[in-house]
Amino acid sequence: MKTNIPADFSFSQSNLHTYLRCRYKFYLRYIQGLLWPAQLTSDALVYEEDRNAGIRFHQLLHQYFIGFDQDLLVQMAQNDPDPRVLEWFSSFLLSPFAQLDGELNPEKTLNANIDGKLFTIKMDLLQFVDGLYHIYDWKTSRKIPSRKTLLESVQTKLYPLVLSEALSSNFPIHFHILELNQVDAPITFTFSAPEVAKSRDYFMLLTDEILALEEHEFFRTDKLQICKTCEYRSHCNRGIKAPGISDLELLDMEDYLETGNLNTDLV
Amino acid sequence: MDAALSTILSSDNKIFLHGEACSGKTGFGCQRLKYLLSEMKGEPEGILVLVSQRSLASPYQEALKQVKTYRKSEVSILTMSGLVRRMVNLFWPLIGHISGFYRPYEPPSFLTLETSQYYMGRIVDPMILKGYFSTVSLTRNRLLSQLVDNLNKAAIVGFPYTEIGKRLSEAWVGQESQKRVYEDAQEAVNAFRAFCLQNNLLDYSLQVELFKDLLWTNPIFRQYLNRQYVHLIYDNAEEDPPYVHDIIADWWKDFKSALVIQDDMAGYHSFLGADPQSASRFKTLAEKSIHLQNNTQDAFQKREMAATIIDYRKPLQFKLEDIHSFIKQPDQRVRFYPELLELVARDITEKVHGGVSPNGIVVISPFVSDSTIFTLGHELAKNNINLRSLRPSTSLRDEPVIQTLILFAILAHPEWDLSLDTYRITSVLAHAIPEFDLVRAHLITKHMQSTQSGKLPHLADLPQQISDRLNEEQKDRYLTLTNWIEENKGVNFLDDFFSRLFGELLSQPGFGFHLNLESGSTTAKLITSYKKFRASFGYQIEIDQSELAKEFVKSVESGLLAATFVDDKSEDDVNAILITPVMSFLGLNQAVDYQYWLNIGSSGWYERLEQPLTHPIVLSRRWQVGEKWTAEHDQKLSRENLEKTLHGLFNRCRKEVFLANSDFSESGMEEKGLLTLHIQALFRRALKEMQDD
Ligand code: SF4
């Protein structure tokens, strides 16, 4: 039986990543909409603290780029319940990323309609300067991912593509990643038109495949390692306990970074 | 569509569009949204679609689904309270230090309605022990909700919260002792506000005050907002309180285009502060005002019928058969309410079997009880018809999945010393282990009762005559369950506890939630509710985590925590008949083919709720401070409410209203409220005219 992916379904970094890791998980989460609130890690509180600290740090940078007084924000960071927030913010202020010019759009969401399919990205910061676009992403990872891992991630390939389609941008497009736990080694990827065209081909093939699948073709992954960090493990009878936080990699978490639903921010 | 109207709605201008329900206003709003998106060239121009409540966003979300443009990211569909909360959170550093908070440089904690009531309880409980509120007979939850409501009214209407008691007192005409109650209420809200300021807690009233008084006047904020939103579509403005209209009116000149939509005969949420009179100011602000009216004969007749029911003196413009073709009554006299529900179920079944879509039918009543849902659902199920309910304040504790989770939490925390009913343990045990039947579960709980230990006995400790009655699989499950409880004793962060309980035990093969897909979303509800509860304690208040968890469990058990989630699944369930309170149905803004009205003798169709600690009109902007609220005011209000309700329901009914009336109502009383009297009068007059003819 053919699956019913809603006509307005928007592909994102998060849902594509889910699909690549396990088709069945994609099916349960995005087609069936099955909520299954099992633990992702047995260190749920540490995970939550990390996540909340990351959210507050991202909010500080959002406020910084809106134009709030820097001293005021330092004071907020000093009073944050998690000392890492002040460390990250101080490191950021010392980095060249604190001195950007041009047109700056923090927390920017973009959609693109590519060959009749919708794609969504949410950027931490979008800069337009000297006729070129720069995408910025702030990361506060416990385990710092390698350059290769980042380059191959869905996010790194998808963001420049959606940006180029949505804003008919010039090339090259720069994608800067600042890992706050390693500020001295920011990573920049530069994408030329042929590289983005390659990503386009890749994502068109991938999404065509998803849209053409029959319900029974959303297989369960055969990599049991992936099931360990999946909330559906009891549903699939693939394990009982969640792993500790030190066993998680960036890739385990990437599909939990939802980029928004239909781009309408209803509250 | 009218070509002129279409042109007006397809241009950059500021329009006020009003008319009766179901005349197509929201459809124009959606058309406008699509137009703005299609016209957007070059610079992105943000569109704010403001709706008065979340459920009213769906037509705009549907409209967006039909548009395939990357510009969709420029659209925000929000309620004003959503916008307020989001902005106060983002701009907190700019306002925290000038608003009287003790720790302005620390992140604030946002309170939900339930957590506000929880904190209000902490303020009020010691007051009650000292004899405050002694003359009021209200449940604790209702007392707390009315106190919180008072603070909210002050903020959304726009008067100092310190004047609540004085305003209520000045309008009061009854016994002097009631004035003492208003003073108590004032003292409680003053103490609550002071507590919030000390602890960085932002209840709804504080969020609104910060937004209006500090953010709205801040140039950085205004600049930010103007960059975000260039166009406005504001639907159902009449259901919002006046502060929202103040903000939008002030923002008006900055919008490049605006469309404000108002329903003429609405304002159903006036008890929550909705103010249609205040919303009508946009008529003068707009460049164009458009009135939409449904001009079909059918619509005219329904308008006339509603007006004639309300006004006995209005000459009849239709005949008895016209009334019968729209308003149906049971063919035979029905004496008791359960009999009536059977009859309603039969009538609905006939319709559905005759080809009517279940989502074209609604059953409404001023209040919808569990027993009505159960009985009607049961009767319909006999014919394979599903019933779904939509109630604004169902309590979390009413859900069996939640009862199971809460019971496990109590079993794993004996130090809370919370008592457990053995029958409840029996049924939860049978629910958690499908291999068990009630008899086996009961054997175990009976033994538990005899040991008075308050904990489930270990398998090894069960007397032989009980363990002999369990097969190996049952023993195995029971052992897993008791071991799990032992291992997780003392996990005080209940979100973590429930998540483990769900993932490691109850959703595993062989346990009750494994094949129960709904259990996932219900558990998620409880986890979210606890997270919000825990978050409201922020980082400042020193509290024992075990005590916090216990407080949460007690709040769920007492019914304080409501399951106020928009359940998308149930809303989309087109194959079920909807049963809902009348106000909730009117708030949905949807027309149906058939309406079944239950409890029509009840005064709940028009009377305001009995609220001894607050008053929706006295605390509204249209109330003249110092005036007295008398019985005449009540009568006038009831009549106005009935009129609004009748027009609203008739406009939302395409084919037939079924007056499901029995001699004895659901409460076993012979009720003859205004609605019954007015409708009977209509039938009598029409019959007389027919006989005279
Ligand atoms: S448990 Fe494994 S197979 Fe099942 S959805 Fe998750 S990743 Fe896929």
Q: Quick one: which atom of ligand 1 is closest to the CA of A22?
A: 8
Q: Looking at residue B412, what is its pLDDT?
A: 94
For residues A185 and A179, the answer to whether their CB atoms sit within 8 Å is yes
Residue A20 belongs to some domain of the structure:
no
* DSSP secondary structure of A201-239: HHHHHHHHHHHH-BGGGSPPPS-HHHHHT-GGGTTTT--
Question: In the A/B pair of chains, how many CB contacts fall below 8 A?
Answer: 142
The beta-carbon neighbor of A44 closest among B73, B499, B504 is B499
> Which of chain A's residues have a Cβ under 8 Å away from the Cβ of B82?
266-267
CB contact under 8 A, A262 and B105: no
For residues A25 and A215, the answer to whether their CB atoms sit within 8 Å is no
Q: Is the pLDDT of residue A257 over 70?
A: no
Answer whether A242 contacts ligand 1 (Cβ < 6 A): no
For residues B595 and B653, the answer to whether their CB atoms sit within 8 Å is yes
Question: Which structure tokens are listed for B507?
Answer: 């959703």
Answer whether A24 contacts ligand 1 (Cβ < 6 A): yes
CB contact under 8 A, B75 and A263: yes
Q: Ligand 1 pocket test: which of A18, A20, A25 has the largest number of ligand atoms within 8 Å of its C-beta?
A: A25
Residue B83 belongs to some domain of the structure:
yes
Residue B96 belongs to some domain of the structure:
no
> Which of chain B's residues have a Cβ under 8 Å away from the Cβ of A8?
64-66
Q: Looking at residue B394, what is its pLDDT?
A: 65
CB contact under 8 A, B68 and A118: yes
User: Which tens digits make up the pLDDT trace of A120-162?
Assistant: 999 999 999 999 999 999 999 888 888 999 999 999 999 999 9
> Which of chain B's residues have a Cβ under 8 Å away from the Cβ of A165?
70
Q: Looking at residue A260, what is its pLDDT?
A: 32
Give chain B's residues under pLDDT 50: 540-541, 563-571
Rounded CA separation B261/B243 (Å): 17
> Which of chain A's residues have a Cβ under 8 Å away from the Cβ of B224?
66
Q: Where is the domain boundary, B292, B322, B350?
A: B292
Answer whether A36 contacts ligand 1 (Cβ < 6 A): no
Give yes or no: residues B429 and B531 share one domain.
yes
Q: Is the dihedral of CA A138, A144, A146, A150 positive or negative?
A: negative
At B264, is the secondary structure helix, strand, or coil? coil
CB contact under 8 A, A37 and B523: yes
Q: Looking at residue B70, what is its pLDDT?
A: 65
> Which of chain B's residues have a Cβ under 8 Å away from the Cβ of A264?
57, 60-61, 64, 72, 75-77
For residues B566 and B55, the answer to whether their CB atoms sit within 8 Å is yes
Rounded CA separation B627/B407 (Å): 51
Residue with tokens 């009129």: B643
The beta-carbon neighbor of B73 closest among A45, A76, A109 is A109
Give yes or no: residues B406 and B259 share one domain.
no
Q: Looking at residue B574, what is its pLDDT?
A: 66
Residue A109 belongs to some domain of the structure:
yes
Answer whether A22 contacts ligand 1 (Cβ < 6 A): yes
Rounded CA separation B230/A119 (Å): 24
At B332, is the secondary structure helix, strand, or coil? coil
Q: Looking at residue A265, what is its pLDDT?
A: 34
At B105, is the secondary structure helix, strand, or coil? coil
Tell me whether strands A187-191 and A173-179 are parallel, antiparallel or unpaired: antiparallel
**Chain CA centroid to CA B173, Å:** 32
- Kind and range of the H or E run holding B337: helix B337-353
CATH, residue B261: 3.40.50.300
Average pLDDT over residues A13-24: 95
Residue A37 belongs to some domain of the structure:
no
Q: Looking at residue B570, what is its pLDDT?
A: 45
Give yes or no: residues B440 and B375 share one domain.
no
Q: How far is the CA of A240 from the centre of ligand 1 (A)?
A: 12
Q: How far is the CA of B571 from the centre of ligand 1 (A)?
A: 29
Answer whether A226 contacts ligand 1 (Cβ < 6 A): yes
Comparing C-alpha atoms, which of B677, B666, B678, B680 is closest to residue B334? Answer: B666
Give yes or no: residues B482 and B533 share one domain.
yes
Q: How confident is the model at residue A259 (pLDDT cuts 50, 70, 90)?
A: very low
At B331, is the secondary structure helix, strand, or coil? coil
- What's the residue count for chain B? 693
* DSSP conformation class of B158: I
Give yes or no: residues B650 and B625 share one domain.
yes
CB contact under 8 A, B73 and A111: yes
Q: Return residues 415-474 of B near A (CB < 8 Å).
A: none
Residue A114 belongs to some domain of the structure:
yes
Best mutation target among B38, B72, B109, B522 (most A Cβ atoms within 10 Å) is B72
Query: Closest approach of chain A CAs to the CA of B199, in angstroms?
Result: 14
CB contact under 8 A, A233 and B503: yes
Query: Closest approach of chain A CAs to the CA of B46, in angstroms?
Result: 11
* DSSP secondary structure of A31-79: IS-------S-S-HHHHHHHHHHHHHHHHHHHHHHHT--HHHHHHHHHT
Could you tell me if A126 lies within 8 Å of chain B, comparing CB atoms?
no
Residue A249 belongs to some domain of the structure:
yes
Q: Is the dihedral of CA B136, B140, B143, B147 positive or negative?
A: positive
Give yes or no: residues B412 and B509 share one domain.
yes
CB contact under 8 A, A266 and B106: no
Q: Where is the domain boundary, B292, B325, B356?
A: B292
**Residue B233 Cα distances to B14, B33, B236, angstroms:** 10, 8, 10
Rounded CA separation B502/B441 (Å): 20
Q: Ligand 1 pocket test: which of A236, A237, A253 has the largest number of ligand atoms within 8 Å of its C-beta?
A: A236
> Which of chain A's residues have a Cβ under 8 Å away from the Cβ of B504?
38-39, 234, 240-241
User: ipTM, 2 decimals?
Assistant: 0.91
Question: Which structure tokens are listed for B594?
Answer: 């058939």
Answer whether A220 contacts ligand 1 (Cβ < 6 A): yes
Give yes or no: residues B528 and B584 share one domain.
no
Give yes or no: residues B491 and B585 share one domain.
no
Q: Looking at residue B331, what is its pLDDT?
A: 87
Answer whether A227 contacts ligand 1 (Cβ < 6 A): yes
At B685, is the secondary structure helix, strand, or coil? helix
Range of the domain at B64: 2-88+218-292
Q: How far is the CA of A39 from the centre of ligand 1 (A)?
A: 14
**Chain CA centroid to CA B139, Å:** 19
Residue B172 belongs to some domain of the structure:
yes
Give yes or no: residues B264 and B314 share one domain.
no
For residues B668 and B648, the answer to whether their CB atoms sit within 8 Å is no
State the total domains in chain B. Answer: 4
Average pLDDT over residues A224-241: 93
Q: Quick one: which atom of ligand 1 is closest to the CA of A28?
A: 5
At B16, is the secondary structure helix, strand, or coil? strand
Q: Return residues 7-66 of A near B (CB < 8 Å).
A: 7-8, 32-39, 44-45, 56, 59, 62-63, 66
> Which of chain A's residues have a Cβ under 8 Å away from the Cβ of B509?
234, 237
Q: How confident is the model at residue A230 (pLDDT cuts 50, 70, 90)?
A: very high
Q: How confident is the model at residue A255 (pLDDT cuts 50, 70, 90)?
A: low
Give yes or no: residues B681 and B637 share one domain.
yes
Give yes or no: residues B435 and B474 share one domain.
yes
* DSSP secondary structure of B401-466: HHHHHHHHHHHT-GGG-----HHHHHHHHHHH-TT--HHHHHHHHHHHHHHT-SSPPPGGGS-HHH
Residue B655 belongs to some domain of the structure:
yes
Q: Looking at residue B559, what is its pLDDT?
A: 78
* DSSP conformation class of A262: T
Query: CA neighbours within 13 Å on the CB side: how many for B145?
Result: 17
Range of the domain at A134: 43-215+244-258
CA torsion angle B368 B372 B374 B377 (round to 10): -90
The beta-carbon neighbor of A39 closest among B94, B220, B503 is B503
Tell me whether strands A117-129 and A132-139 are parallel, antiparallel or unpaired: antiparallel
Rounded CA separation B25/B36 (Å): 17
> A120 forms bridges with which residues in the sheet?
A12, A111
* DSSP conformation class of B316: P
Cβ atoms within 10 Å of B175's Cβ, excluding its own = 9
Q: Looking at residue A250, what is its pLDDT?
A: 54
Residue B255 belongs to some domain of the structure:
yes
CB contact under 8 A, A35 and B509: no
State the total domains in chain A. Answer: 1
Q: Where is the domain boundary, B530, B557, B584?
A: B557
CB contact under 8 A, B504 and A241: yes
Q: Residue A67: closest CA among chain B residues belongs to which residue?
A: B220
CATH, residue A249: 3.90.320
Q: Looking at residue B173, what is its pLDDT?
A: 94
Q: Is the pLDDT of residue A164 over 70?
A: yes
Best mutation target among A9, A36, A74, A126 (most B Cβ atoms within 10 Å) is A36
Q: Compute φ and ψ for B660, nearest 5 degrees.
A: -85, 95
Query: Closest approach of chain B CAs to the CA of A129, in angstroms?
Result: 15
Q: Looking at residue B600, what is its pLDDT?
A: 92
Q: Looking at residue B567, what is its pLDDT?
A: 43
For residues B568 and B379, the answer to whether their CB atoms sit within 8 Å is no
User: Which tens digits make up the pLDDT trace of A192-227?
Assistant: 999 999 999 999 999 999 999 999 999 999 999 999
- List, in order, residues 6 or more apart from B119 with CB less than 8 Å away: B111, B192, B195, B196, B201, B203, B536
Q: How far is the CA of A254 from the centre of ligand 1 (A)?
A: 15
- List, in order, residues 6 or more apart from A258 with CB less than 8 Å away: A12, A14
Q: How far is the CA of A25 from the centre of ligand 1 (A)?
A: 5
CB contact under 8 A, B520 and A265: no
Query: Closest approach of chain B CAs to the CA of A207, in angstroms?
Result: 16
What residue owns the CA closest to ligand 1's atom 3?
A: A220
Q: Residue B525: closest CA among chain A residues belongs to which residue?
A: A37
Could you tell me if B75 lies within 8 Å of chain A, comparing CB atoms?
yes
Residue A124 belongs to some domain of the structure:
yes
Residue A64 belongs to some domain of the structure:
yes
Residue with tokens 């059918």: B298
Residue A233 belongs to some domain of the structure:
no
Could you tell me if B54 lies within 8 Å of chain A, comparing CB atoms?
yes
Give yes or no: residues B610 and B472 share one domain.
no
Answer whether A228 contacts ligand 1 (Cβ < 6 A): no
